[in-house]
Amino acid sequence: MKRSIVGLAVTAATLLAGACAFAQFPGMQQPKHYPWSDASLSPDSRADLVVKEMTLDEKISLVHGQGMPFFSNAPSESNGGAGYTNAIPRLGIPAIQMADSAYGVTRGEAAGRYSTALPSDLGAASAWDPDSAFQYGALIGRELRAEGYSMTLGGGVNMPREPRNGRTFEYQGEDPLLAGVLDGNVEKGVQSVHIIGDLKHYAINDQESGRNSVNANISKRAMRETDLRAFEIALGISNAGGVMCSYNRVNGDFACENSYLLTDVLKKDFHFQGFVLSDWGGTHSSTKASHAGLDMEQPDKIFFGDPLKKAVESGDVSQDELNDHVHRILRTIFATGLFDHPVVKQVPDVEGGYRVAQQIAEKSIVLLKNQHNLLPLSSSVHSVVVIGGHADVGVITGGGSAQVDAPGGSAVPAPAPKNMMEAIIHIQWLPSSPLRALQAQMPSAKISYVSGDDPQAAASSAKSADVAIVFAYQWESEGMDLPTLDLSAAQNQLIETVAAANPKTIVVLETGSPATMPWIDKVAGVVEAWYPGIRGAEALAGILTGAVNPTAKLAITFPKSDADLPHPKLVLPPPESEINFSDPGADISNIMSRMAKGLPAFQTYYDEGLKVGYKWYDAEKKPVLFPFGFGLSYTTYAYSGLSVTPGDSTAVTFTVKNTGKRAGTEIAQVYASLPDAAGEPPKRLIGWARVELAPGESKQVSVPVSQDRLTVYDEASDSWKLVPGSYAIRVGGSSQDLPLHQSVSF
Ligand code: BGC
């Protein structure tokens, strides 16, 4: 008894001492009350109250970063992310701690933190599911908060005008409506937990090669209807607090000092109320950028530190203009709830993250070919050989600033880096083993693995197995483009050799972009798993064994070859306009200042204009390998009974029936062909629905189509117009399988 009283006293003393220490943690202090603490005021009024109290130095401190902690000695205020703005303790304004988080929170390795690696963005887009997109964002938001961050740098929604773009895996596919709705929901999810959302890279940053020097030439109409349309839709849904302007030039001006993009379109037409921050090193001036609408330089203060202060003092930049930048940043801190819900670190919910990652992966994996219904693997399959792609140990991830580090280190160790670039960017494999997941889900089958390094050895193992599954991958990363959509020659050769030995060969692809498939007629099945995330193998095994019925459909066209792309050859910069990141002596501050000075420009001409993705192949009548919107299921669906009632919101009603023997979810798609006078590609997506159906069940589905989905951008009047005439509304299961159609007049 005595001992326990002593024990209690000691515990109480420890707790008291602890409480004093806790008081130093953010969120544990009694918040001080300021006039702008009143949450009943609007975010704008609260921001105005703060701006009135601020000194010039405080204002300037809010519009720039403090260096790049990842590369240099992290200043003590940094949380270890890609960038941050300082807090202003006198006014109770929190720091904005930013972390890249395209498919999960990054820089875990350097900081010793765990984050969930979700399926790649393009993979997750194949779910065509706004709810999953919201869950995707909310998980990222929760983990950012748990790790002490207050802003995401995810939200990539560039169009794949160049599908070899090394960041295609970070984006949401080729249709502006689909991409905008999904990205909007991701950012809405992020902001639902009071973390500042972000949309990037604004705009026309559609290739990585020479991204700091390329000048994208594109018509206003093409921009507004495609690349900018995706941003507009995403912004409308999410009210994201941040928009990151991109590295490249657009029609002459750098995106971060382009008044058409930042002011005319984003702030005026889209009514964006948040702040524009530059991509890292993408600011090139003080006055010009400030006038054009850039609100914050990241990660440095080369232009928005002292030079901007001087410009304000000399009157080159007005107080009002500076106040607007500051107001936008503060307003966002209030509007997202960051001020009222300060970030408090905690251990991330690892199990919860696994669950979300697996659910989304199951909805993301696309079944592309399934000859003779070889899949799902039935109980009569007694032996399976898994070949190649490191499928014994893990699944691949996308690289660059989006890299979510593998817990416990990469499942396939990376070779020692030879230069700075390799130290930052190298292939990482998550410890989610397809081999082990299949073994767990098919306990009575013999499931073995061969590396595929020796195609003949792989073929002889395939010969003696009931089914062979070849894993092939294409790694991609920020800062580089794929030279081609072809897989490596060695992987194509391996697939051919195995398929020749066993016709029951299935290929599983882990790619960030579409891949070409010269062997398509020789294999029985193809499954596109993308970069499937930390529970990718488990989700994949569910699809292969039939525990999960695939539902996903492509958010990007798979062309037959590079030759069919709008730009058959990747447009490469001349050597003098590239920074040599592979230079072993390269130092980041040097690189940043060279980027800031502006490298010699080279041109890309996006003459395909409106014809992005399926719109290109449709218009040019080029057959494709797998069309936009395509994906198989283990059941089948039939469409009937289309009725279209035109109006401000056009009601498109039809019936979908599950004609197979398994429950499934069909992604039913609605397209419109506009009148000829509109001068549009043959059709555009105007809506879709995910329809859950039991075997034999029919459901009537109604897809509302708002009029803005049918309008075109008129350059002469700088406005959107509904072209009068006849509109063909088409409905079906992919962009090339549209059995229902009805014409209506507007
Ligand atoms: C990328 C951005 C990223 C930033 C910070 C840049 O190189 O283009 O997408 O958010 O770095 O890491």
Task: Write the residue with the smallest CA distance to atom 3 of ligand 1.
Answer: 401
pLDDT at 75: 64
Q: Taking 70 as the threshold, does the pLDDT of residue 605 lie above it?
A: yes
Task: Write the residue with the smallest CA distance to atom 11 of ligand 1.
Answer: 280
Q: Taking 50 as the threshold, does the pLDDT of residue 15 lie above it?
A: no
Same domain, 123 and 235: yes
Say if 574 falls within a structural domain: no
Q: Taking 60 as the threshold, does the pLDDT of residue 3 lie above it?
A: no
Say if 610 falls within a structural domain: no
pLDDT at 73: 55
How many domains in the chain? 3
Tens digit of each residue's pLDDT (9 = 90 or more) over 727-736: 999 999 999 9
Which CATH number does the domain housing residue 439 bear?
3.40.50.1700
Using a pLDDT cut of 90, give the percent of the chain over it.
88
Mean pLDDT computed over every residue of the chain? 94
Q: In what order do the strands lie in the sheet with 698-706?
A: 637-645, 649-658, 698-706
**pTM value?**
0.95
pLDDT at 68: 79
Measured from the CB, is residue 401 less than 6 Å from ligand 1?
yes
635 and 671 Cβ atoms separated by less than 8 Å: no
Tens digit of each residue's pLDDT (9 = 90 or more) over 415-445: 888 877 787 788 999 999 999 999 999 999 9
Q: Which atom, in ligand 1's list, is nearest to the CA of 106? A: 12
Same domain, 331 and 364: no
Same domain, 294 and 374: no
Same domain, 25 and 73: yes
Q: Which atom, in ligand 1's list, is nearest to the CA of 83? A: 5
Which residue, 301, 335, 369, sits at the end of a domain? Answer: 335
Same domain, 532 and 648: no
Tens digit of each residue's pLDDT (9 = 90 or more) over 664-692: 999 999 999 999 999 999 999 999 999 99
Say if 612 falls within a structural domain: no
Say if 345 falls within a structural domain: no
How does residue 12 score in pLDDT terms, banded at 50, 70 and 90?
A: very low
Tens digit of each residue's pLDDT (9 = 90 or more) over 278-307: 999 999 999 999 999 999 999 999 999 999
pLDDT at 6: 35
Same domain, 374 and 496: yes
Question: Going by DSSP bridges, is the β-strand pair 429-430/395-396 parallel, antiparallel, or unpaired?
Answer: antiparallel
Say if 630 falls within a structural domain: no
Measured from the CB, is residue 200 less than 6 Å from ligand 1?
yes
Say if 647 falls within a structural domain: yes
**Which residues belong to the active site?**
279
Same domain, 374 and 330: no
How does residue 30 score in pLDDT terms, banded at 50, 70 and 90?
A: low
Residue among 742, 730, 739 nearest 670 (CA) = 730
- Whole domain around residue 294: which residue ranges? 2-335
How does residue 17 score in pLDDT terms, banded at 50, 70 and 90?
A: very low
Which residue, 503, 534, 564, sits at the end of a domain? Answer: 564
Same domain, 63 and 165: yes
593 three-state secondary structure: helix
Same domain, 640 and 555: no
Q: Which atom, in ligand 1's list, is nearest to the CA of 205? A: 8
527 and 539 Cβ atoms separated by less than 8 Å: no
Say if 577 falls within a structural domain: no
Which residue, 292, 319, 335, sits at the end of a domain? Answer: 335
Using a pLDDT cut of 70, give the percent of the chain over it.
95
Measured from the CB, is residue 100 less than 6 Å from ligand 1?
yes
- What average pLDDT score do residues 642-649 get? 96
Same domain, 364 and 240: no
28 C-alpha vs ligand 1 centroid, how far in Å? 32
pLDDT at 384: 98
How does residue 495 score in pLDDT terms, banded at 50, 70 and 90?
A: very high
Which CATH number does the domain housing residue 722 bear?
2.60.40.10
Residue among 83, 169, 118 nearest 398 (CA) = 169
Residue among 252, 167, 262 nearest 598 (CA) = 252
256 C-alpha vs ligand 1 centroid, how far in Å? 14
CA distance 195 to 180: 20
Same domain, 652 and 532: no
Which CATH number does the domain housing residue 322 bear?
3.20.20.300
At a CB cut-off of 8 Å and minimum separation 6, what does 7 contact? Answer: none
Task: Write the residue with the smallest CA distance to atom 4 of ligand 1.
Answer: 280
Say if 118 falls within a structural domain: yes
pLDDT at 594: 79
- Residue, of 418 and 60, whose pLDDT is higher: 60
Same domain, 156 and 79: yes
